[in-house]
């Protein structure tokens, strides 16, 4: 059996079309975001049934924000929700099933959120996948991208119509997906000069195709499925921030650090609570948009 760890989901690659609600920005981002932490918000955290996602949800709930645990496995998600309610003393912790690789599941979640929540001020895309050990192949690369890139985009674009002015989108990425992992100058420039999310999709598909054709060596691509998927996710984050720049919505990427969670086989030097600090901080008090953060400090993409 292949070694694999998910922070939420597994499945297909069809993407939802963008459905952004038109809004007029009423204040600059720098003026709007500092007040976010002091007012009660509605937050959705994907892959929140364990690890970093659970602790992000805990931090948000402890501050009085309605917090939705979004997880693929309903049983585990409900158990995590009950645990969060007990830990925080908040009945404002809710659960709803969400598989970000399944368009039907994403659509159902977005419909529920619109009807029951009204708006989503905070979206933390934490659900993720990393294969363990030396597992490598086209199918595994596709699965990794299905969650870390395509699933993140699908969930984000489905929920963006519910995100109001002053809202925040946080994508949990990784230092393993920095632009520096691409050594080939031509390939690197394509990431740097990408203009649309579809450009990132094309790059991701090329990576999988190179593995399928056994042409990865000499193609300029690194041999890290997780790294490439997180680079694609970070690039998507930057492009989305540019697209939403006039709507007063902060969109940021961050690395939680090497945390002792199921994903790292419990080898990390940080606790999940420590790893949750930066994404929760960005969710509530993002000082800028379109940036990459680690330990609450801006980092180059």
| DSSP annotation string for 246-259 | GGT-EEEEEE--SB
Q: 19-23, 39-43, 48-52, 240-244: which has the minimum mean pLDDT?
A: 19-23
Residue by residue, DSSP assigns 267-290 as --SB-HHHHHHHHHHHHHH-SSSS
Contact between 150 and 208 under an 8 Å Cβ cutoff? The reply is no
Between helix 138-145 and helix 225-243 the angle, nearest 10°, is 30
Averaged confidence pLDDT in the chain: 87
pLDDT at 179 over 80: yes
pLDDT tens sequence across 183-220: 999 999 999 999 999 999 999 999 999 999 999 988 99
Whether 20 is a known active-site residue: answer: no
Whole-model pTM: value is: 0.86
Contact between 207 and 177 under an 8 Å Cβ cutoff? The reply is no
**What's the pLDDT at 17?**
38
**What's the pLDDT at 22?**
37
Banded model confidence at residue 38, pLDDT cuts 50, 70, 90: low
Banded model confidence at residue 97, pLDDT cuts 50, 70, 90: very high
Top-ranked range on mean pLDDT: pick from 29-38, 50-59, 130-139: 50-59
Element (H, E) at 5: strand 4-6
Point out the catalytic residue in the list 20, 226, 258, 269: 226
Banded model confidence at residue 39, pLDDT cuts 50, 70, 90: confident
pLDDT tens sequence across 145-163: 999 999 999 999 999 999 9
**What's the pLDDT at 132?**
84
The residue ranges of every structural domain in the chain are 4-10+26-288
**What's the pLDDT at 218?**
87
Gap between the Cα atoms of 275 and 260, Å rounded: 9
Gap between the Cα atoms of 231 and 234, Å rounded: 5
Q: Evaluate the CA torsion angle 219, 222, 224, 226 in order and state its sign.
A: negative
Contact between 65 and 280 under an 8 Å Cβ cutoff? The reply is no
**What's the pLDDT at 256?**
86
Contact between 77 and 95 under an 8 Å Cβ cutoff? The reply is yes
**What's the pLDDT at 269?**
52
Residue 223's CB is within 10 A of a number of other CB atoms, namely: 11
pLDDT at 260 over 50: no
Stretch 11-34: mean pLDDT: 37
Q: 60-74, 79-93, 264-278: which has the minimum mean pLDDT?
A: 264-278
Pick the CATH number of 4-10+26-288 from 3.90.1300.10, 3.40.50.300, 2.60.40.1890, 3.40.50.720: 3.40.50.720
**What's the pLDDT at 265?**
46
Stretch 52-63: mean pLDDT: 96
């Amino acid at each position: 059996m292949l070694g694999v760890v998910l922070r939420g989901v597994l499945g297909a690659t069809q993407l939802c079309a963008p459905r952004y609600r038109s809004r007029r920005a009423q204040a600059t981002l720098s003026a709007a975001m500092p007040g976010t932490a002091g007012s009660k918000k509605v937050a959705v955290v994907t892959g929140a049934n364990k690890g970093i996602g659970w602790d992000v949800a805990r931090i948000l709930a402890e501050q009085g924000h309605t917090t939705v645990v979004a997880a693929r496995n309903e049983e585990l998600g409900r158990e995590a929700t009950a645990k969060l309610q007990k830990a925080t003393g908040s009945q404002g912790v809710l659960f709803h099933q969400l598989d970000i690789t399944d368009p039907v599941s994403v659509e159902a979640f977005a419909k529920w959120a619109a009807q029951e929540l009204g708006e989503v001020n905070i979206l933390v895309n934490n659900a993720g996948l990393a294969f363990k050990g030396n597992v490598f192949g086209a199918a595994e690369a596709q699965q990794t991208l299905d969650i870390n890139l395509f699933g993140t985009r699908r969930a984000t674009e489905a929920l963006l119509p519910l995100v109001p002015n002053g809202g925040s989108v946080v994508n949990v990425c990784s230092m393993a997906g920095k632009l520096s992992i691409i050594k080939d100058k031509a390939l690197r420039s394509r990431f740097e000069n990408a203009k649309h999310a579809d450009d990132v999709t094309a790059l991701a598909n090329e990576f999988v195709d190179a593995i399928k054709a056994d042409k990865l060596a000499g193609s300029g691509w690194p041999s890290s499925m997780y790294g490439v998927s997180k680079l694609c996710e970070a690039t998507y984050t930057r492009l989305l921030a540019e697209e939403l720049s006039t709507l007063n919505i902060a969109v940021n990427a961050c690395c939680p650090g090497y945390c002792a969670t199921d994903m790292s086989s419990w080898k990390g030097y940080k606790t999940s609570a420590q790893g949750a600090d930066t994404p929760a901080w960005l969710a509530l008090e993002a000082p800028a948009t379109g940036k990459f953060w680690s330990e609450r400090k801006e980092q180059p993409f």
